[in-house]
């Protein structure tokens, strides 16, 4: 789904943002600046869509001479040690900015500080870092977890047992979404988390993990998730002959397709929520703006992308097979986000 974040902004705000871009002085020429993407993992559809969005937006920016390079690098494993070495290599290669999806919020801080000390701009997104010299772009992942339980409370006021499917162990995103889910259960104590597994944000891993724990679980009324795991969970419940719970989806095309099929067949109802993979493109433009001399707050928050029963069909139509519902960002969008944080 290609859409500007400003498509949902009031017309006056949109005009102000555009005029701000048009009127802003060129503080520094970024045409000779090189930006690198350091990505820690590419083993699921969200990460693949994130990398595709990066290429889609940055290639024209390079061709237009806005920056000299926007190269993407992905480590072979979700290893903070390997990614730290990658960052150190990017420092040696002389990049002017590093856009970072981090394997750990803290384990990369030393390498990030080395980059900052070398005069390199570091903008972390999705998997952010806590090193003060870096910038951070994230959704409120904790709230993304909490709203899942809030939705289930509206659908199932009597509550019941929940199954939690987590993401990659040790990653900031996983910890935050899980914390939000547990906050939601505290807020709505009619629910109990009866079991928890790691699905690594991948349908096949989630299916195996859910299939493995199901025999030990009581009746499950809802499945709270992190993205890339809903369809796998549904397959595991179906294979086990268990009643199908309300499974919160994560904006992946196979999840949306399954949801639509169930909706058409029996009125199945749920919701879907995730961070848009195109947040990598917002991070690119933020890095470019910092290189251009713009004052940018160290912490920026963007909304997560929610799909409802009413918007399911429209979202599915614009989501490629094997892909993820997405938003890619423009320079104008980045300026609007920056202004909104000031």
Q: What is the pLDDT of residues 118-131, one digit of tens each?
A: 999 999 999 999 99
Query: What does the alpha-carbon distance between residue 53 and residue 50 come to, in Å, rounded to a whole number?
Result: 5
Pair 108, 86: CB distance under 8 Å:
no
Mean pLDDT of 170-174: 87
Q: Do domains 5-139+276-303+325-341 and 141-274 have the same CATH topology?
A: yes
Pair 234, 79: CB distance under 8 Å:
no
At residue 77, the pLDDT reads 80
Burial letters 269-294, b for 16+ CB under 10 A, else e: ebbbbbbbbbbbbbbbbbbbbbbbeb
Of 10-24, 108-122, 237-251, 252-266, the least confident: 10-24
CATH of region 141-274, choose from 3.40.50.2300, 3.40.718.10, 3.40.50.300, 3.40.50.1100:
3.40.50.2300
Residue 18 confidence (pLDDT) above 70 = no
Residue 187 confidence (pLDDT) above 50 = yes
Dihedral sign computed on CA atoms, order 278, 40, 116, 69: negative
At residue 13, the pLDDT reads 33
Pair 246, 155: CB distance under 8 Å:
yes
Nearest to 266 by CA among 236, 307, 234, 239: 234
DSSP 4: -
* Each residue's pLDDT tens digit, 154-166: 999 999 999 999 9
Residue 333 confidence (pLDDT) above 70 = yes
Mean pLDDT of 70-97: 95
Mean pLDDT of 311-329: 94
| Domain spans in the chain, listed from the N-terminal domain onward | 5-139+276-303+325-341, 141-274
At residue 7, the pLDDT reads 32
Burial letters 298-313, b for 16+ CB under 10 A, else e: eebebebbbbeeeebe
Pair 81, 19: CB distance under 8 Å:
no
Confidence of residue 152 (pLDDT cuts 50, 70, 90): very high
At residue 28, the pLDDT reads 59
**Whole-number average pLDDT of the chain:** 91
Please count the helices (runs of H) and the strands (runs of E) in the chain: 12, 12
Higher pLDDT, 28 or 139: 139
Q: Give backbone dihedrals phi and psi of 72, rounded to 5 degrees, phi first.
A: -110, 135
Confidence of residue 342 (pLDDT cuts 50, 70, 90): confident
Query: What does the alpha-carbon distance between residue 40 and residue 75 come to, in Å, rounded to a whole number?
Result: 5
Mean pLDDT of 209-216: 98
Query: What does the alpha-carbon distance between residue 114 and residue 120 come to, in Å, rounded to a whole number?
Result: 9
At residue 95, the pLDDT reads 98
At residue 139, the pLDDT reads 86
Confidence of residue 341 (pLDDT cuts 50, 70, 90): confident
Of 54-58, 211-215, 307-311, 323-327, the least confident: 323-327
Cα angle 33-38-44, degrees, rounded to a multiple of 5: 135
Higher pLDDT, 4 or 257: 257
At residue 43, the pLDDT reads 85
Distances (CA, A) of 228 to 21, 254, 317: 36, 9, 18
Strand-pair category, 222-224 with 160-166: parallel
Confidence of residue 15 (pLDDT cuts 50, 70, 90): very low
Residues near 83 by beta carbon (within 8 Å), at least 6 away in sequence: 38, 40, 75, 102, 103, 108, 111
Q: 157: how many CB neighbours lie within 10 A of its CB?
A: 9
Residue 31 confidence (pLDDT) above 80 = yes
Which fold does the domain 5-139+276-303+325-341 belong to in CATH?
A: Rossmann fold (3.40.50)
Distances (CA, A) of 138 to 100, 123, 241, 303: 12, 11, 38, 8
């Amino acid at each position: 789904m290609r859409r500007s974040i400003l498509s949902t902004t009031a017309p006056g705000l949109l005009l102000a943002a555009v005029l701000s871009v048009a009127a802003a002085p060129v503080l520094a020429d970024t045409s000779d600046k090189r930006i690198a993407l350091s990505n820690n993992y590419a083993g699921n559809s969200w990460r693949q869509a994130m990398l595709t969005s990066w290429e889609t937006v940055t290639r024209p920016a390079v061709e237009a001479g806005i920056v000299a390079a926007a190269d993407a690098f992905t480590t072979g494993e979700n290893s903070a040690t390997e990614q730290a070495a990658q960052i150190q290599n990017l420092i040696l290669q002389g990049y002017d900015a590093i856009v970072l999806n981090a394997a750990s919020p803290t384990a990369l801080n030393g390498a990030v500080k080395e980059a900052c000390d070398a005069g390199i701009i570091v903008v972390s997104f999705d998997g952010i870092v806590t090193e003060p010299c870096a910038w951070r772009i994230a959704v409120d992942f904790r709230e993304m977890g909490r709203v899942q339980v809030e939705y289930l409370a509206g659908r199932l006021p009597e509550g019941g047992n929940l199954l939690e499917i987590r993401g990659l162990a040790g990653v900031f995103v996983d910890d935050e979404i899980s914390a939000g889910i547990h906050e939601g259960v505290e807020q709505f104590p009619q629910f109990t988390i009866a079991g928890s597994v790691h699905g690594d944000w991948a349908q096949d891993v989630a299916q195996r993990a859910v299939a493995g724990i199901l025999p030990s679980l009581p009746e499950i009324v809802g499945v709270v998730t992190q993205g890339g795991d809903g369809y796998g969970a549904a397959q595991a419940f179906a294979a086990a002959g268990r009643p199908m719970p309300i499974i919160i989806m994560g904006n992946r095309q196979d999840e949306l397709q399954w949801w639509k099929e169930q909706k058409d067949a029996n009125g199945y109802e749920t919701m879907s929520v995730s961070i848009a993979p195109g947040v990598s493109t917002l991070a690119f433009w933020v890095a470019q703006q910092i290189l251009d001399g713009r004052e940018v707050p160290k912490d920026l928050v963007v909304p997560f992308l929610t799909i409802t029963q009413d918007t399911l069909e429209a979202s599915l139509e614009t989501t490629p097979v094997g892909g993820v519902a997405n938003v890619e960002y423009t320079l104008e969008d980045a300026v609007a986000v920056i202004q909104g944080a000031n």
